[in-house]
Amino acid sequence: MGFVERLRTIRKLETTLGVTLLSRTPRGATLTWAGRVFLDDARRVMLSVEQAVASAKAAASGSQGILRIALSRDIGRARLSALLALCREESPQVNIRLSEVPLTELVQGLNAHLFDAGFAMVNEVEDGIIAEPLWADPLVVILPARHPLVAFKEVPLQEVVSYPLVLCDPRACQGCGRQSERLFRSVDVQPIVAEYAASHGLMLTLVAAGYGLGFSTAAHLATCQPADVVVRPLAGQSASITTYLLRTEGGMTEPLQRFIERAERICHQDASTSRAI
């Protein structure tokens, strides 16, 4: 559908609803407040329809249950892969549907019962949502390959913050952004921000290009680490990034309970491996 056709469709929709969805000016068009509210609700309706279609297809193919799991965009993927593999091995009859969404949509989806649970990097959520800590990963520093701080085996945080940094864009990675803010408050420093990156991959690219230094974890680097960056632990720091499982208060279905138990087992396996090393 072309631009003109879209505008005609929106005009018809405005006539049907009796509200103005777009504010039109000679320089373009923007959503009105009513338009933004309608768009958010329409997206939730479309997601609900897509989930209903997926559930019907899963049931027709012999699935005995479905779990709708939301993923905040800034979480690490290494343990998630292990968890999904374990679920497929132990409960192949349960169909797991993943949706990658911004944190705000994740919480809204939980409240609207569009998701059964979600993974995020925040525990500061609204009433009615339970945030259970699952996985904690120590923060590491990402350096350009020829940076002076490469000489350190462990880099003091005060040294790191004396250089420009490439940080998570707090609009795209709210959880990572909040945890980074706590780290800087712990040393009472205002960081020099060279760039904000909307994804972990972009942050690594900018660090490799010399824009600044970055922070990450082993869980994030397991799936993506360019050859032209160097990873160093933080000296004398217990700072870590925690991944939480979010769900609504109240009873849990048996598939969700088993899913959470497996997530905790993955965590315990990692802890046992770390102690052995």
Which pLDDT does position 123 carry in this prediction? 80
Pair of tokens at residue 108: 């809204």
pLDDT given for residue 175 in this prediction: 73
Predicted confidence at residue 30, as pLDDT, reads: 82
* Burial grade of 128 (CB within 10 A; 0-12, 13-18, 19 or more): exposed
* pLDDT value at residue 273: 46
User: Measured between alpha carbons, how far is 256 from 263 in angstroms, rounded to an integer?
Assistant: 11
> Could you tell me the domains of the chain?
54-135+243-276 (3.40.190.10), 140-238 (3.40.190.10)
Q: Cβ–Cβ contacts within 10 Å for residue 69, how many?
A: 20
Unique residue bearing structure tokens 């779990």: 67
| Closest C-alpha to 110, from 74, 99, 121 | 99
CB atoms within 10 A of CB 143: 23
Question: What is the distance of C-alpha 211 from the center of its chain?
Answer: 24
Predicted local distance difference test score (pLDDT) of residue 55: 60
76 phi and psi angles, rounded to 5 deg: -70, 155
Residues paired with residue 230 on neighbouring β-strands, in sequence order: 143
pLDDT mean for each 10 residues of the chain (277 residues)? 75 85 81 82 72 61 74 82 92 90 88 92 83 88 94 91 91 76 82 90 92 88 79 81 89 90 83 45
Q: Would you state the structure tokens that stand for residue 243, as one six-digit string?
A: 């991944």
* Contact indicator for 139, 215 with CB cutoff of 8 Å: yes
Two structure tokens written together for 51: 């989930």
Q: Of 143, 131, 145, 215, which Cα lies nearest the Cα of 181?
A: 215
Closest CA to 121 of 180, 183, 207, 81: 180
Spacing of C-alpha 184 from chain mean position: 21
Q: How far is CA 4 from each of CA 1, 8, 22, 78, rounded to the nearest angstrom?
A: 8, 6, 14, 45
Rounding to the nearest 10 degrees, give the CA dihedral for residues 196, 198, 201, 202: -50
Residue 79 in tokens: 């343990």
Give me the phi and psi of 89, to 5 degrees please.
Answer: -75, -45
Kindly report whether the global pTM for this prediction surpasses the value 0.75. Answer: no
* Phi, psi for residue 225 in degrees, rounded to 5: -145, 105
How distant is the alpha carbon of residue 213 from its chain centre?
21
**Can you give the pLDDT at residue 59?**
58
Per-residue pLDDT, 275: 43
